[in-house]
Amino acid sequence: MSTLNEVLERVNRVRADAFDDTTKAGWLIQLEKQLYEEMIMRHEQPIDSSIPDEIVSKYPEDGDKPLLVGAPYDYLYDRYLMAQLDFYNREIENYNNSALAFNEALDSWQKRYHQQHLPLGKGGLKNVW
């Protein structure tokens, strides 16, 4: 599983920008919380779950903790960070491409996660027939 520091290092290597790592880490932490609330918490967790006990919530303290999404889907963090950089740099054409790449990566991970984890029940009728 990738860590916050690894994602920052990969993106900094391929995309030069004026934003500091603290700002970029904040964007990734926001994404991490969103993934946790919108996907992880809405599905049952298997006993041998690979989900970390705590999600990344501070930088630089949690910089070496594993992020929620593991390989081979962890590239979605890189794509998200690149989209954020393009958005805040007002590079609209690049942003559209980066956002599309991120959404495709997110969709791939979400589909796989849905296949491996049952959604939590809503308390509806069961075994009616």
Domain total for the chain? 1
pTM of the model: 0.85
Coil vs helix vs strand at 99: helix
Per the listing, tokens 């860590």 go with: 3
Identify whether 122 is part of a domain. Answer: no
* Positions of the chain with pLDDT under 50: none
Alpha-carbon distance values, 37 to 15, 19, 55, 94, 125 (Å):
29, 27, 11, 28, 25
Domain hosting residue 110, numbered range: 4-116
Identify whether 64 is part of a domain. Answer: yes
Identify whether 129 is part of a domain. Answer: no
pLDDT tens-digit series, residues 19-52: 999 999 999 999 999 999 888 887 777 655 666 6
Identify whether 123 is part of a domain. Answer: no
